[in-house]
């Protein structure tokens, strides 16, 4: 099928599937999309050539980048041990145990090929996980663990699949080569992701400092970021593009404070654009999965020499074994963590937690794309006779894992409702708040132009935020007010004449200089009053220098801010570490005192 026709068809089928999902609430949208794709393929005989390379670039890269960017960083750090244990060691264990089991179950499949099949079935699919979670209220810890694991395990699973398949095709395997290649792909991929995301942020900051605040331009830069990073890592450095986009996604959100002078429209436009893109890509993944199922399974099902009943038993046996490996691993890990926990809070592990972890480990489109990349011919030129069987088993396990999760999770969790995400609750609360305030506020004068209307709205928001400040939320609300005030100043700049703008900038620099000196005096006064160390004082002087440097425009200002920011962060990290090791709670509060003073 032509690329343009296939794209339009995918979008239309995604929309149809989501409309159907509003009526079939109990069934996950992902499963509905698979069924719709399957029916379209069977009725209209539609086929899509699935190439693993472009599938990973067009679908997996942006989805993983978005998931990593929106993943709660505190949870990612707290769950780092189980996430990486599942993403690396569990994948290796599943590959080895699953490979030997498949070889023992089906003697016609050689051990290297069985290991390749187990490897491609080892990683969980992030898209499939969220497809299940949207209709089931999963415990927050389990959902975070599975989501975090699925960000990393694609790389380890694909590397294991690559080497197991190479061992089957060539008859040669090097454990040292596989291990060194994995380390190279992981480390270089992470380094490429880190460097490129920093460079992209540097470019965006430079554009902002030059006054280039084009909403469409900045939104487009953010949208193409994961594609560029994946191509550079995968094509130029032969590293893991998956790890590169995940690292870039994790770091991208930490750079948000740099762009506080951005238009509010940039944030809104980017978020909405990502919502639309993720919506279409998520649905497209499962539509393609449904369309590919007849192609992948028909050759085996129509083979008269194969017993279809035995085939389905093989699929069920492989899925049950992989589930047991995952559940036993999770339960063992829970007990080890419980026994090694030296803190006062201890919660005895429950088998139901491990079972939920196992059932939510569903397989999805990454497995499908990888298994469909199997060659048609062997190196000696003969037909790859076992290819249809391997593809059938992989597809069967994908569908069975989705069906099992759909049926069993609502029973175990005793919930049959859509998981309310953070963005959903924010939208609901914002809508209710806006509606309430609309009834209270006066109507904006319709004769106002767009700029005047925006200024009116921002002033109203600032006034409302100041009225809601209290001791608990004062710091957070002050930061938000600061962002809106920056936006308001930008509007005044835009509205000013060419003659007035130089005078405005000159006046603004004078005000910032006065604020800079006042901040230094306040820090000195607070430090003397509270007997604060000289090192802490110096840290906040550097922080104040960083804030003042925002008035310097161009590359010089950007480089100066970068250096000051790195120095401040390093000093802050060292001081925090020393303070916490000493257990000096009083000294730690000096950071709060000085920050308020500055």
**213: number of Cβ within 10 Å:** 16
What integer pLDDT is reported at residue 106 of this predicted model? 93
pLDDT in tens, 128-163: 666 666 656 666 677 778 888 888 888 888 888 988
Within 13 A of 257's CA, how many CA atoms are on the CB side? 9
Rounded to whole angstroms, the maximal C-alpha distance in the chain is: 89
d(CA 556, CA 210): 12
- Rounded to 5 degrees, φ, ψ at 383 are -70, 140
Distance of CA 291 to CAs 34, 49, 74, 75, 359, Å?
A: 8, 10, 39, 36, 25
With residues binned 3-state (H G I as helix, E B as strand, rest as coil), the percentages for the chain, rounded to 5, are 80, 0, 20
What integer pLDDT is reported at residue 254 of this predicted model? 52
**pTM for this model (two decimals):** 0.69
Separation of first and last alpha carbons in the chain: 63
With a CB cutoff of 8 Å and minimum separation 6, the contacts of 391 are 296, 297, 300, 371, 372, 374
What integer pLDDT is reported at residue 265 of this predicted model? 67
With a CB cutoff of 8 Å and minimum separation 6, the contacts of 419 are 133, 134, 135, 136, 137, 138, 143
d(CA 149, CA 298): 33
What integer pLDDT is reported at residue 133 of this predicted model? 61
pLDDT in tens, 530-554: 777 676 677 666 666 666 655 555 5
Residue 383 β-bridge partners: 377
With a CB cutoff of 8 Å and minimum separation 6, the contacts of 313 are none
What integer pLDDT is reported at residue 142 of this predicted model? 75
What integer pLDDT is reported at residue 364 of this predicted model? 80
- Each residue's pLDDT, cut to its tens digit, for the chain (598 residues) gives 577 888 899 999 999 999 998 888 777 788 899 899 999 999 988 888 778 788 889 998 998 898 888 887 777 777 888 888 888 899 999 999 999 999 999 988 999 999 999 999 998 876 666 666 665 666 667 777 888 888 888 888 888 898 899 889 888 877 777 788 888 999 999 999 999 999 998 888 888 777 777 888 888 998 999 999 999 999 999 999 999 999 999 888 555 444 544 456 677 778 888 889 988 998 898 898 899 888 888 888 887 777 888 999 999 999 999 999 999 999 998 888 888 876 655 667 888 888 888 888 888 877 888 888 888 888 888 888 888 999 999 999 998 998 888 888 877 776 544 433 333 333 333 333 433 443 444 445 555 566 677 777 777 777 777 777 665 566 667 667 766 776 676 666 555 544 455 666 667 677 777 777 777 777 777 777 777 767 667 766 666 666 665 555 556 666 666 666 666 666 656 655 555 554 444 444 444 444 444 4
Q: Which of 298, 274, 292, 359 is nearest to 323 (CA)?
A: 359
What integer pLDDT is reported at residue 420 of this predicted model? 35
Asked whether the beta carbons of 92 and 115 are under 8 A apart, the reply is no
**461: number of Cβ within 10 Å:** 17
């Amino acid at each position: 099928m032509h690329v343009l026709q296939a794209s339009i068809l995918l979008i239309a089928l995604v929309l149809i599937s989501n409309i159907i999902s509003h009526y079939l609430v109990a069934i996950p949208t992902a499963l509905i999309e698979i069924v719709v794709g399957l029916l379209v393929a069977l009725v209209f005989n539609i086929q899509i050539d699935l190439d693993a390379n472009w599938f990973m670039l067009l679908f997996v890269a942006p989805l993983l980048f978005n998931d990593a960017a929106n993943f709660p960083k505190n949870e990612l750090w707290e769950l780092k041990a189980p996430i990486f244990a599942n993403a690396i060691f569990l994948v290796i264990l599943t590959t080895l145990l699953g490979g030997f089991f498949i070889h023992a179950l089906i003697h016609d499949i050689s051990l290297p090929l069985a290991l390749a099949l187990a490897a491609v079935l080892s990683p969980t699919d992030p898209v499939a996980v969220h497809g299940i979670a949207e209709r089931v209220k999963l415990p927050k810890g389990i959902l975070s663990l599975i989501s975090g694991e699925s960000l990393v395990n694609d790389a380890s699973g694909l590397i294991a699949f690559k080497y197991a398949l190479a061992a089957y095709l060539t008859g040669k395997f090097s454990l040292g080569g596989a291990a060194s290649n994995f380390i190279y792909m992981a480390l270089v991929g992470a380094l490429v992701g880190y460097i490129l995301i920093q460079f992209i942020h540097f470019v965006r900051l430079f554009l902002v400092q030059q006054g280039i605040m084009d909403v469409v331009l900045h939104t487009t830069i953010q949208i193409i970021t994961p594609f560029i990073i994946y191509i550079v890592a995968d094509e130029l450095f032969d590293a893991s593009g998956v790890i590169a986009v995940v690292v870039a996604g994790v770091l991208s959100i930490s750079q948000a404070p740099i762009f506080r002078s951005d238009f509010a429209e940039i944030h809104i436009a980017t978020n909405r654009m990502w919502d639309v893109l993720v919506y279409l890509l998520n649905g497209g993944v499962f539509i393609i999965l449904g369309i590919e199922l007849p192609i992948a399974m028909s050759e085996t099902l129509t083979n008269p020499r194969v017993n279809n009943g035995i085939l389905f038993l093989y699929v069920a046996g492989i899925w049950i074994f992989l589930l047991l490996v995952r559940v036993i691993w999770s339960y063992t890990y829970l007990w080890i963590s419980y026994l090694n926990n030296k803190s006062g809070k201890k919660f005895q592990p429950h088998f139901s937690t491990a079972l939920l972890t196992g059932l939510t480990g569903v397989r999805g489109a990454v497995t499908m794309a990888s298994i469909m990349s199997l060659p048609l011919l062997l190196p000696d030129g003969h037909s790859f006779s076992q290819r249809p069987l391997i593809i059938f088993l992989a597809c069967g396990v994908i569908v069975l894992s989705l069906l099992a999760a759909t049926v069993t999770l609502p029973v175990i969790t005793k919930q049959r409702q859509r998981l309310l995400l953070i963005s959903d609750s924010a939208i609901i609360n914002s809508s209710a708040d806006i509606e309430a305030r609309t009834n209270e506020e006066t109507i904006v004068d319709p004769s106002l132009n767009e700029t005047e209307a925006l200024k009116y709205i921002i002033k109203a928001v600032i006034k409302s935020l100041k009225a809601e400040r209290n001791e608990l939320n004062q710091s957070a609300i002050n930061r938000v007010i600061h962002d809106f005030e920056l936006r308001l100043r930008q509007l005044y700049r835009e509205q000013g004449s060419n003659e007035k703008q130089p005078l405005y900038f000159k006046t603004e620099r004078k005000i910032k200089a006065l604020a800079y000196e006042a901040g230094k005096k306040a820090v000195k006064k607070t430090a003397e009053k509270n007997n604060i160390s000289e090192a802490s004082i110096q840290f906040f002087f550097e922080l104040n220098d960083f804030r003042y440097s925002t008035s310097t425009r161009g590359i010089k200002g950007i480089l100066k801010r970068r250096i000051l920011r790195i120095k401040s962060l390093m000093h802050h990290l060292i001081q925090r570490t020393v303070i916490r090791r000493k257990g000096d709670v009083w000294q730690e509060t000096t950071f709060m005192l000085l920050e308020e003073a500055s």
